[in-house]
Structure 1
Amino acid sequence: MELRHLRYFKALSECLNFTRAAERMHVTQSTLSHQIKQLEESLDRPLFDRIGKRVVLTEAGEIFLEFVTSALAAVDQGIGALKESAGELTGHVRVGATHTFNLQFLPECIATFLEKHPLVRVTVEELPAEEICVKLNSGELDLGIAYRPNNPDNLWFEPLHNEEMILVVSEQHPFANRKRIRFVELHRQQLVLLPEAFSTRAMLDECFRACGAEPLVMAEMNTVAPMLQLVARTQIAAIVTANAIDAGSDLHVVMLEDPTPVRTPGILWNRGAHQQTVHIRSFSSIIRKLALSRRLQAQRQRT
């Protein structure tokens, strides 16, 4: 069975006349008749009853028509989307991102996207994850980039990968020369962490409880950048994701184990927004490709 068989079947089911259906499809009547016969043989049942010069759908044909109509509509929609994406895209992409992804990851995504589609306008709002969810639900954002929320409500979370959290210290810190450290060794160590309202903080608190460690939480900050500035100026450590650290940073990274805290970044969508425009789908495709590239790079570095 091939796509042309379905198109011929659809035309004949609408015309119920071989001559008119053949004219619509720009083929000879014998060609159309032969193609319909091939389709019926492949399905092992008749789709049309021939009564003299009249043609009517069989019960099997009526059932099959519903699915063929949906399938051809989806195919034609896909072809249209490809033709549209081959030209100059225009429009507006509204993105909400948490601070971590707004440092390096998202700017790289935007640069790649605008190089391909310079006529599309991109607006980025740096927001807490909870506010991203609110604005997606209200239709003020097209997509969000954040860690998996605890209560996504009407949102769909598309995971990109899993990433390990790390300990970050200054050059003067006693752990600066360590490559790995067990979670229990953070007992009574000075830390700056996110506030307790954050899901990341809840996960880290659970890690501390699991190993029986009680850190000295010297400060709580709701964004990563000031946390890292505090780490650079003191002997207070922080636990963040690796992509929060700039490549040229003087901060030292220490891997955490037993347990290793893991976060899952991804794309947040509004479940009600079924029809995403071509430029939004194109932008999300770049997000997926860059996330995959970074994951593979991290795997190579570990090996």
Structure 2
Amino acid sequence: MELRHLRYFAALGERLSFTRAAAQVHVTQPTLSHQIRQLEDELGVRLFDRIGKRVVMTEAGETLLPGIAKALQDIDQAVRLVRGDPEQITGTLRVGAVHSVNLELMPRCAAMFLARHPAVRLVIEDLAAPVIETRVCDGALDVAIAYEPVSGGPIAFEPLYEEELALAVPPSHPLAARKRLRMSELHRLPVILLTRSFATRRMLDGWFEAAGAEPAVVVEMNTIGAMLEMARRSGIAAVVPARAIRGTDLSAVALEGPTPRRIPGLLWVHGRERPAAPRSFAAIVRRAVRDAAAVREGRRRDRTPP
């Protein structure tokens, strides 16, 4: 007895018509008849009787059908789960992201993911990059978006896009009216920076040194949201991702000479099996990033004079 025999039997039991059942399972009527006879021979009982032009189930067939239908349903569901078919993904997906990603990209991707997988419970945490790295390693997060890991080790990193850093200042700050600022102009300027445990901070220190600048670091913090709030309340400038300043009452001053940039990306553990939910979420993130890049390119072309 093979799986196809059970499918053919279930189709004929449902349709009670060789013509319609054969069409449902995509075989010819003679093939269907032959397969049903094989099943009957193996079981040693008749499952169907022909009465004139009608097909009726025997008592044995009626006894067998509910169990076969349930078994086929369970098999099909198991196959869909293994393949990761969208409508069958369930459970909880745990996602970690740095603050700037949570402002725009994450809500967009989360909405797309839930529209595609409504049975999944999504848990999103706004975390500092070092915390994300640790929690990805220990399995507390299924997938994450952060900056390139500082420790290497088992974490895989897939770059997504470049992100510029800018100076966030309140409207009353002397530099609030500036559009751009050279890194050298930050020399001795009171600033709020990330702590030195962050790769971004260490890169910033390198950029400052290259520009011959030594800002007066008066506050060090480990989250972007806290840095923005500190800048707003204290009047001290903060170096943060430019996109994190959007939607706040702070002014963004672009930095150049050099322009500090960092690269967010997807994080997961090398060699660890990734279930369907995190794979699907990662695919949605990639698509959202590509779509956003295409929109920016279209706007750039629209602004370019003919």
Taking structure 1 as the reference length, what is the TM-score of the superposition?
0.67
Post-superposition Cα deviations, 1:138-164, rounded to whole Å, max 9, x if no partner, equal 222211110111222101001101111
Instruction: Determine if contact 2:86/2:116 at 8 Å carries over to the other structure.
Output: no
Instruction: Determine if contact 1:169/1:231 at 8 Å carries over to the other structure.
Output: yes
- Give 1:194 deviation, angstroms: 0.8
Query: Which structure 2 segments of 5+ residues have no match?
Result: 1-26, 28-78
- Residue type of the partner of 1:219? V
Query: Which structure 1 segments of 5+ residues have no match?
Result: 1-25, 27-78
Give runs of aligned pairs for residues 226-265 of structure 1, distance below 5 A. Answer: 226-247=226-247, 249-265=248-264
- Give 1:263 deviation, angstroms: 0.3
Corresponding residue for residue 189 of structure 2: 189
Give runs of aligned pairs for residues 135-174 of structure 1, distance below 5 A. Answer: 135-174=135-174
- Aligned partner (choices 265, 277, 280) of residue 279 of structure 1: 277
- Aligned partner (choices 278, 291, 301) of residue 293 of structure 1: 291
Query: In structure 1, what is the Cα distance between the partners aligned to 2:245 and 2:297?
Result: 17
- Residue type of the partner of 2:159? P
Structure 1 vs Structure 2: percent identity of aligned residues?
A: 43
SS at match of 2:153: coil
Instruction: Determine if contact 2:87/2:117 at 8 Å carries over to the other structure.
Output: no
Query: In structure 1, what is the Cα distance between the partners aligned to 2:219 and 2:297?
Result: 33
- Give 1:298 deviation, angstroms: 4.7
Post-superposition Cα deviations, 1:208-253, rounded to whole Å, max 9, x if no partner, equal 1111111111211111112112222343111111221243x22111
Corresponding residue for residue 215 of structure 2: 215
SS at match of 1:87: helix
- Give 1:89 deviation, angstroms: 2.5
Corresponding residue for residue 203 of structure 2: 203
- Give 1:86 deviation, angstroms: 5.0
- Residue type of the partner of 1:121? R
Which structure has the bigger radius of gyration? 2
- Give 1:300 deviation, angstroms: 5.6
SS at match of 2:85: helix
Query: In structure 1, what is the Cα distance between the partners aligned to 2:200 and 2:188?
Result: 20
- Give 1:100 deviation, angstroms: 2.8
Query: In structure 2, what is the Cα distance between the partners aligned to 1:264 and 1:110?
Result: 21
Structure 1 residues 292-301 or 116-125, which shifts more?
A: 292-301
Please report the RMSD computed on the Cα atoms of aligned residues, expressed in angstroms: 2.4
Taking structure 2 as the reference length, what is the TM-score of the superposition?
0.67
Post-superposition Cα deviations, 1:92-143, rounded to whole Å, max 9, x if no partner, equal 2121222332333222221221122110111223333223222222222211
Corresponding residue for residue 85 of structure 2: 85
Query: In structure 1, what is the Cα distance between the partners aligned to 2:133 and 2:244?
Result: 22
